Each structure stands twice: as C-alpha cells, then as structure tokens.
Structure 1
Amino acid sequence: MHIRTPRRATRLAVTAAAATALVLAGTLPATAANGKHPSLRDAAPADLVIGTAAAGGGHHLAQDYEGLEPGQSPFLHDQQYRRELKHEFSSLSPENQMKWEFIHPEQGRYDFAEADAIVKFARQHKQDVRGHTLLWHSQNPAWVEEGDFTAEELRAVLKDHIQTLVGRYKGQIDQWDVANEIFDEGGNLRTSENIWIRELGPGIIADAFRWAHEADPDAKLFFNDYNVEWKGPKSNAYYALIQDLLKQDVPVDGFSVQGHLSTQYGFPGDLRENLQRFDDLGLETAITELDVRMNVPEGQQPTESQLAQQADYYQQALEACLAVDDCNSFTIWGFTDRYSWVPVFFTGEGFANVMTEDYERKPAYYALRDTLLAAAGGK
C-alpha cells in the first residue's frame, strides 16, 4: 500500500482550455530530466495513481485483432501494448479478468491465470491494482444465474467468491470495486436484474463489504457506477445509502465514478462538486473507467474539433479529481483505440481513448500529461 503525500497548491495552475490550446497549437511537450518526454505516471503528483484497464476477457474473446490469434488476450500477447502499459501507468484494473464469468466459470472452479499475471506484472513494474468487481448484475456465469440455489446456498456462493478473490490477493490489491452498478437511472436498486439483491435482499450489499474487509482489512472498498458523475437520482441514492451504511459501521471506504462520456452530450459540470460531497463523508473517491467516445462516420477519422473536445473532456475530468483531496486514483478505460470496448457496444461511436490504434498520442493524451505536470509543480 502506498502512502500519499499532500498535493501541491499549483496543481490547477493550467486551465483545461489553456493546456488544450497549447497541445493543439503544436507546443513541444515538456521533457523529463533524462531528456525524454515524461510518461503519464512520471508526470503525476505523488499522491495520484494513473491507471488503465488491462485488456482481456469479455468482448476481446470474440474479436479478430491483427497480430493476435482468435481469443488471445491483448494483455498477455501484444508486446507493444505491454510496453506502453508499464511505461505510462502506475495502476492497472483487470478489464474483465476478475469478473465472475471469467474467473469463476464453473461452480467449484476458479481460473486465476490471467488475474495472477496482471498482479504479477503490476508488482514487477511498481504499479497498484484495482480489483474489479465482486457484486454485479452483469457478466455472471450461467451456473450462478440459472442455478437452483436456496437463499442460504446462494449467500454461501457469494461469500466464498468474495473471500476467495480478496483473500488470494491480500496485500496486493489497493482498491476493490465491491458493489458495481447496483442502482438504475432513477436511483432504485436493481432488484429484478441483480440476482444477489433480488434473491438475498438489500442487506447483502453490506455483507459483501464486510466479507471483503474480513479477507483483506487493508484494501479500500468502493461502490462503482456509471452516470453518477453529476448530482442526480442515481448519485443521490449512493449518497444516502453510504451514509446509512457508515452509521452501521459497514467498512465502506470509497465512491467512484466510471466516467464513460460522449462528446454528443455536455460535460458533467458538477463532477468536482459531486466528488467533493462524498469526500466530505470521509470517503476516498476515484475516477475508474474514463473514456470519451465520439460519433464518427464509418470509414472516417475524427475531426480536429472533435479531438479538441475530447481532450477538453479528459482534462476537465482529471482536474475535477485533482481538486478533491482524497480523489487518489484516476483510471482511463483502455488507452488505445485498438482494443476499445466502445465500437462493440455503441454503434457508430468510437475513437474513445487517448491513443490511436497505432499508439499515436492524441491531443487528449497531452492534455492529461500537461495537466499532471502542472499539478505536480512542473516536475
């Protein structure tokens, strides 16, 4: 576990508009002491980890990637991808490799191979790991969703899963997304979609946090969701629930916003204020899955205007995190368009990451890096 040091007062010295303008104008990037351009992890303040998802599992299993055999994991088999991963980032999140269907495909059988490889890689390269995710309504295996369990048996299944995973990586995973996407857009619990809440009742949420804490008392335990970047029914529901759980001494340590944004919508201008109110409860906060997708006609590339807007959104999200004292983890959901989940799930949208398919840095990359340098006092 890392000990964070206070952020410098100069962290917001460069505004989003100014830094983006410098990037788009072609200003030469700042250089590190060794004469090379600093990476994102090198540019960051000491108290902020810069993370990305480690691509594998999920939709990747059905994709035909150039240079990889069908079903091969980008994380395991793309060497250029691995070089960028260790060079640019100080934190890794398994994209799918710790989700139920991947790591626990059959009752009584776990497949830890790729999750172990991610944790080993992170340890070798002095990176943190965010565990993702323990209690969720999606990507559960058929044996869970279609199993003929009593409530007592299903409860035991969940407890075993949580404590097996968290216990296996005790001391090696800094933050866990314990409960993921438990509310709908109206701020109501997903009682019909989420098998755990539907069959075991809302109290299972507190139990999941308690079980994770028992397995690793030092890991920070988070709620995580999308469309909670602003104040609204969904984020308000988390705010109320967390207050209630804290009164019950449930070990909730953090609240994180995923940050799956699109340039066809406005940037959530109250992101900073929303993070701050959870910080005021004594929680850590994080941005965990940031990407900014764009509508681009098939066969075309984003325009300069689109790239500028994308860079602005990335930078505004980072500045919101930097402005909140205990927002100490900032993760982008993939860094290269080569392996982005967006085109698979959003027809007509894509180019959501900070590097192209060929690992060329976009304006969004430089907007992040220059903002980090400003926050760290221009180191």
Structure 2
Amino acid sequence: MSRTSRTRLRLVGALTGALLAVVAADPAAQAHCDDPPTLADLAQRHGRYFGSATDNPELTDTAYTKILGSEFDMITPGNGMKWYATEPQQGVFDWTAGDAIVDLARAHHQKVRAHTLVWHSQLPGWLTGKEWTADALRAVLKKHIQTEVRHYRGKVYSWDVVNEAFNEDGTYRETVFYKTLGPGYIADALRWAHQADPKAKLYLNDYNIEAVGPKSDAYYGLAKELKAQGVPLDGVGLQAHLALQYGYPTTLEDNLRRFARLGLDTALTEVDVRMLLPATEEKLAQQADWYRDMTEACLAVRRCVGITIWDHNVG
C-alpha cells in the first residue's frame, strides 16, 4: 500500500459534480448552496462521508492542512497506526504519530478511520525476525490489538482490523499470522477489537476487490461465514487503487450491493486512479470520469457509507 500516486485537487471538480448531481434534484438541498460546498458538505447531504488519508510528515505544510481540515470530514492515518509505528519493540507502545492525527481530526471536528491492526507488511523486526509458536503469536496478536484499540477507544469511528488477507485468486495470503494461526486469526482479531471498543465499526480491507471476481468472492464468502458465526464485522473496505491501463471495475455497484445484502456496510477506503506517464488531456479526462463513476456507485448503494481518497496535495 505504498502511496504510488496522490489524488490531485484538480479532480475535486469531477467528484463534486457527481455529488452535486443528486443535490441539484433536491430543492431542500439547493437552499443550502449559497456558499461553495466542500466535498464533506456534499457527501453529508447524501448521508455519506468524504475523507482523505494523511501522514505525519505532511502536517507541517499549512496549505496542505488547511485543505485537509476544511474539505473532508473523515481522515485516515496512512502509517501512524501501523504495527511498526505503534509497537516498535515488543510490549513497548508509541502513540505519538497516531495521536497527532487524532488530535488534528478533533480540532477540525472530523472522524478517524483507524488503519490498520493486522497486516503482513510494515511489521517491526522483532515480530518478523523469529519463529513463533501458535500460542505465543496468538498472545502477541491479542495484546497488540487490544492495547491499541483501547488506547483509541471512543476516539475513532472505525478500524481496518485485518488488511489484505487474500491473494488475487481468492486463497489466503501466506502471512505470518495465517501460517502460524490458520484462517481463524481473522475472526479472533475482530472479536478482540470488539471487546476493546464495542462502539467502533470493524472492517476487513483490501485492494482489487472492487469488481466481482475470485478475490472479492473470497471476501464475500468469508464475510457470510463470519456473520453466520456471530463474529463482530461491520463492513468491508474496498481500497479502490485503480489504474487506467487495467480498466474500470464495471461490476463495482453490484459488488457493493451484494455485501449490503449480507447486512454489511461498505466503503471506498484508499481511492486513487493512476496512469502511465506522460499525462495527456484524454487520460486526465478519463481519470476524472473514473472518480465520478466510483462516487456515483457509492451513492447508488445505501450501505456504501463513504469515500476516502488516498491523500491529496495542493499542486
């Protein structure tokens, strides 16, 4: 999940157009359009949020933080809540980076999508540099999840509890957690997070699950199984890292609907649209269309609760 590109502010026009399309048909909403609306304003009129990722080194840029604090109503810490940052030494926790994002959000009356508790990447060396028994790793995983979730209890809207658990073909990713604990680590992680903060929304999150296919089918099957077992799962996050050269996920709306039928929320959680350089006017227009199309797909499905772009810049 490296930040391979940043969403440019010039694309706000396309996103705003998609959000305004429904507002324009609503006379009551039109009455509030005297001032230029922000993306958050427009999303809220549809009962959605519109967010951005951010990262701590960016917070010294006042032009950047001005937009972050005014245009969005949800923010996601890009790195500050990941395992390497929060537990750099076993049993020694550091909340500095995550707290800075939470404090910024509170100052601007924003919510926080907390990201992420269990992921195979950006793990500290003490975790990846040894062989674990199942009992030992289970204890480490539980302690990490519950310590972090308790620290942010009441301060965050949701957690990406397990991130990127499947391969492209729908098989489980061979992470240290899967290889040592088996697939049950996902249900355990959700239960432990819920115990630590019963009010936080709990998500599974992944890329390349926007379209109906083997990987999204795996999540659908897992979510159905978890719901049947009474495991606390509130939603599925579709990262939506797209690229023009790979085509648009035309079954996105259908996919959102089938998760909704399971009683789950969905969200587009890390949205960006890349292209092969050099950029052309045609590519930029297509990029803007894709942002609009994704926004309209979310608006069309009641349980798609919001969109987060994977950071922005002021260029």
Query: TM-score band (shorter)?
Result: 0.7 to 0.9
Q: Which has the larger radius of gyration?
A: 1
Q: Give the distance between the partners of 2:204 and 2:263, measured in 1 at CA.
A: 14
**How many angstroms does 1:38 deviate by?**
2.1
Aligned to 1:74: 58
Equivalents in 1 of 2:219, 2:246: separation in Å? 23
Equivalent runs, 1:137-286 vs 2, <5 Å: 137-191=120-174, 194-286=175-267
1:310 aligned partner, one-letter code: Q
- Match for 1:261: what amino acid? L
Residues 151-193 of structure 1, C-alpha deviation per residue, up to 9 Å, x if partnerless?
21111111111001111111111111111110000000012xx
Q: Which stretch shifts more, 100-109 or 284-293?
A: 100-109
Report if the CA contact (8 A) 1:32-1:38 is conserved.
no
The whole-number CA distance in structure 1 between the counterparts of 2:31 and 2:99 is 33
SS of equivalent residue, structure 2 residue 178:
helix
Asked whether the equivalents of residues 94 and 130 of structure 1 are also in contact (C-alpha less than 8 Å), the reply is yes
Tell me, in whole angstroms, the C-alpha distance in 2 between the residues paired with 1:35 and 1:210.
46
Q: 2:293 aligns with which of 302, 316, 319?
A: 316
1:330-371 CA deviation, whole Å, 9 max, x = no partner?
1000112xxxxxxxxxxxxxxxxxxxxxx25xxxxxxxxxxx
Instruction: Tell me how far 1:149 sits from its aligned partner.
Output: 3.3
Aligned-partner residue type, residue 164 of structure 2: E
Corresponding residue for residue 50 of structure 2: 50
Distance between the aligned counterparts of 1:45 and 1:202, measured in 2?
37
Paired positions, count: 291
* Paired amino acid for 1:207: D
Q: Distance in 2 between matches of 1:249 and 1:314?
A: 35
- Give the TM-score normalised by structure 1: 0.73
The CA deviation string for residues 296-329 of structure 1, in whole angstroms up to 9 with x for no partner, is 13xxxx2221111010010111111111111112
CA distance in 1, matches of 2:294, 2:33: 29
- Corresponding residue number in structure 2 for 1:68: none
Same amino acid, percent of matched pairs: 50
Residues 97-116 of structure 1: pairs in structure 2 closer than 5 A: 97-116=80-99
- Taking structure 2 as the reference length, the TM-score comes to 0.88
Letter of the 2:214 partner, please give it.
Answer: P
After TM superposition, give the deviation of residue 33 of structure 1 in Å. Answer: 6.0
2:272 matched residue in structure 1: 291
Q: How far has the Cα of 1:36 moved from its partner?
A: 4.6
8 Å CA contact 1:290, 1:331 repeated in 2? yes
- How far, CA to CA, are the matches of 2:220 and 2:99 in structure 1? 34
CA contact (8 A) 1:128 1:174 kept: yes
Cα shift readout 1:252-283 (whole Å, capped 9, x = no counterpart): 11011000001112211110000110000000
Matched-pair contact (CA < 8 Å) for 1:136–1:180? yes
Question: Does structure 1 retain, via aligned residues, the 8 Å contact 2:85–2:97?
Answer: no
Question: Could you say which residue in structure 2 is the equivalent of 1:41?
Answer: 40
Contact preservation (8 Å) 1:100, 1:140:
yes
Contact kept? 1:41, 1:90, Cα under 8 Å = yes
Indicate if the aligned counterparts of 2:132 and 2:180 stay in contact, CA closer than 8 A. no
Q: 1:139 to 1:32 in 2, by over 3 A?
A: farther
Residue 349 of structure 1 corresponds to which residue in structure 2?
Answer: none
The Cα of 1:110 is off from its aligned counterpart by 1.4
Q: Which moved more, 1:307-316 or 1:99-108?
A: 99-108
Q: Distance in 2 between matches of 1:142 and 1:84?
A: 36
SS in 2 for 1:44: helix
How many angstroms apart in 1 are the aligned matches of 2:33 and 2:210? 38
Contact between 1:93 and 1:130, CA under 8 Å: does it hold in 2? yes
Opposite residue 49 of structure 1, the aligned amino acid is: Y
Q: Distance in 2 between matches of 1:37 and 1:276?
A: 32
After TM superposition, give the deviation of residue 40 of structure 1 in Å.
1.0
Structure with greater proportional helix content: 2
2:98 partner letter = A
Shift of 1:35: 5.8
Give deviations 1:39-92, integer Å, cap 9, x for gaps. Answer: 211222341111111124xxxxxxxxxxxxxxxx112x1111111100110000
2:66 alignment partner, one of 83, 90, 93? 83
